[in-house]
Amino acid sequence: MSLRIKAVVDKFVQELKEALDADIQDRIMKEREMQSYIEEREREVAEREAAWKAELSRRERLLAKAARLKMEKENLEKEKSVLMGTASNQDNQMELLKSLKRAESDTTVADAPAKAQKFAQWYSEILEDLKKDPENHGGPSDCILLCRLREQVLRELGFRDIQKSQEDEENAKAISIFEDVVRLNDAIEDGTRRLENLVKGIFAGNIFDLGSAQLAEVFSRDRMSFLASCQNLVSRPWVFDDLDTFKVKWSKKSWKKAVIFVDNSGADIILGILPFARELLRPGTQVVLAANSLPSINDVTYPELIEFISKWKDGSGKPVAVDTSNLLIANSGNDLPVIDLASVSQELAYLSSDADLIILEGMGCGIETNLYAQFKCDSLKIGMVKHPEVAQFLGGRLYDCVFKYNEVLS
C-alpha cells in the first residue's frame, strides 16, 4: 500500500513540477514578448520624436527664412523710401539751377550758355511730367532715374563734364598735400588708432561733394580744410556706427581681396580713399578700386583714377613705400552718382568674384542705393549723410556719418 501511495505522490509531484516549469516558461515568454513590445514601442516613440524634431527644425528653418525674407523686404522698402524720399523731397529746382550755372560756364562746349538754357528747359519739363505721373520716363521717379535723366539731357546737348574745372582745382590741391596726410597717418604707431584716423579721413574727404547743393554752396563761398574737417566730424555714436567692431576685426583679420567702389574726385579719393587703400595693401590684401566709366557730377572716373595712381608713386615707383603690385583699377560700368550693383561691368564682376570684402563709399553708392544690400562676403558701407531728407529718414543728423559693417561668418 505504501508503494502505491508513494508512486501516486511521486507522479503528482512530477506533474506539479512540469506544470510549474511550463508556467515559468510561459511567464518568461510573456515577459520577453512584453520586453520586445516595450522596445518596439520605444523605437516607435523615438522615431516619432526624431521625425517631430526634424519637422520642428524644418519649420524653424522656414520661419527663419520667412523672417529673413521679411527683413530683406523691409530693408528694400526702407531703401526704396530713402530713394523716393530723396527724389521727391529734395529741392530739384536748386539742383537744376546749380547744373545750369555749371553748364553755362563750360568752356569745352560751343555756345554753352544757350545750350545750358535748353538743358534747363528740357529737364524742367521732365520734372513736371514726373510730378503728373511718376511712371513717366521709365519710372519710378527715384534718384537713380532723376540722375540718369539729368545726365542724359546734358550729354545730348554736348555737355560731358560740367564740373571739370572745379574738379581739376580740387584734385590739384589734394595731390599737393597727399604725402603730408600719409606721413601724419604713418606717425600713428597704434594700428587701431591709425585705422580710426584713416576712417575720419574718408569722411572728411567725402565732404567734397558737388552733388550736395548745401556743400557745393559752401565750397563756392569758402574753402574747407581737409585736416580741420577730420577733427570736426559730428560726434559719435554716428547714425550707423560699427567702427569699434570693425577695428577689432581689422586687428585680427586680414582680407585677401577688397573691392572699393569709390565716389568723388578731389579730397575724397586722394586724401580719403587712397590712404585707406594703402593701409589695406600693407599686409598683402589685393585692392580693386572701381570707378565710373563716365563723368557724373564730381564723381571720379576710371581714366582719372589711373592718372591719380601714376602720380601716387614716389621716386622708387612705390606710393610712399607701399608696393602697388596688388592694386588694380577697374571700370565699374556705371555713369551715375548712384549705382545698381546688378549692372556692373563684366570686368568688375569677374574681379569681384573672389573678393572677401566689399566697400561701398559715398552717399549715393553706400547709403541711398545700397545701405541694406547683402553680400556673400564681408561688406562695409561708409559715407556722410548730406541730404536733410535722408538724415531725417535714418534718424540721424545732417552731415552724420554712416559706418555700417557686416561680417559673413564662414
Helix H segments across 157-225?
Answer: 164-186, 191-206, 213-221
My answer on whether 207 and 279 are in the same domain is yes
34 vs 306, more confident: 306
Do 360 and 222 reside in the same domain of the chain? Answer: yes
Residues paired with residue 292 on neighbouring β-strands, in sequence order: 301
- Sign of the CA dihedral 234, 235, 241, 243? positive
* Burial (0-12, 13-18, 19+ Cβ within 10 Å), 378: buried
Q: Is residue 35 part of a domain?
A: yes
DSSP string covering 314-344: -TTSSSSS---TTEEEEE----SSS--GGG-
Grid coordinates representing 264 are 568723388
pTM: 0.72
pLDDT tens per residue across span 197-218: 999 999 988 876 544 445 445 4
Let me know whether 178 and 276 are in one domain. Answer: yes
Whether the CB-CB separation of 243 and 403 falls below 8 Å is answered with yes
pLDDT exceeds 70 at position 141: no
Instruction: Identify the CA nearest to 399 among candidates 208, 247, 245, 243.
Output: 208
For 264, list phi and psi in degrees, rounded to 5: -95, 160
Task: Count up the domains in the chain and report the number.
Answer: 3
Q: What is the pLDDT of residues 308-361, one digit of tens each?
A: 888 766 555 555 657 778 999 999 999 888 898 999 999 999 999 999 999 999
State the virtual CA torsion across 113, 114, 115, 120 in degrees, nearest 10. Answer: 90
CA angle 366-367-372, nearest 5°?
90
How far apart are alpha carbons 393 and 396 in whole angstroms? 8
Helix (H, G, I), strand (E, B) or coil at 84: helix
- The SS3 assignment for 209 reads coil
Could you tell me if 222 and 320 lie in one domain?
yes
User: Which has more pLDDT, 79 or 171?
Assistant: 171
Whether 78 and 94 share a structural domain: no
Exposed (0-12), middle (13-18) or buried (19+): which is 375, by Cβ within 10 Å? middle
Backbone angles phi, psi at 374, to 5 degrees: -110, 140
CATH number at residue 259: 3.40.50.10880
Judgement on whether residues 376 and 270 belong to the same structural domain of the protein: yes
Domain range for 123 is: 90-156
- Cβ-based neighbour number of residue 142 at 10 Å: 22
68 lies in some domain: yes
**Residue 80 sits in the same domain as residue 189:** no
**Prior bond of 140 cis (ω within 30°):** yes
Same domain, 77 and 104: no
**One domain, residues 382 and 256:** yes
Which residue, among 270, 275, 252, 253, has the nearest Cα to 188 in the 3D structure? 275
Q: What is the pLDDT of residue 232?
A: 81
CA distance 358 to 202: 16
Residue with cell 574747407: 224
The amino acid present at 90, given as its one-letter code, is Q
For range 75-100, the mean pLDDT: 59
| pLDDT tens digit sequence for 164-179 | 888 888 888 888 888 8
CATH of residue 130's domain is 1.20.1700.10
**Whether residue 319 sits in one domain with residue 174:** yes
Backbone φ and ψ of 160, nearest 5°: -95, -40
Q: Is residue 2 part of a domain?
A: yes
Same domain, 40 and 122: no
CB 267 within 8 Å of CB 226? yes
Residue ending a domain, choose from 65, 89, 113: 89
Question: Edge-to-edge strands of the sheet including 401-406?
Answer: 240-241, 401-406, 378-384, 357-361, 257-261, 286-291, 327-331
Give the pLDDT band of residue 375 (cuts 50, 70, 90): very high
Q: Are 182 and 137 contained in the same domain?
A: no
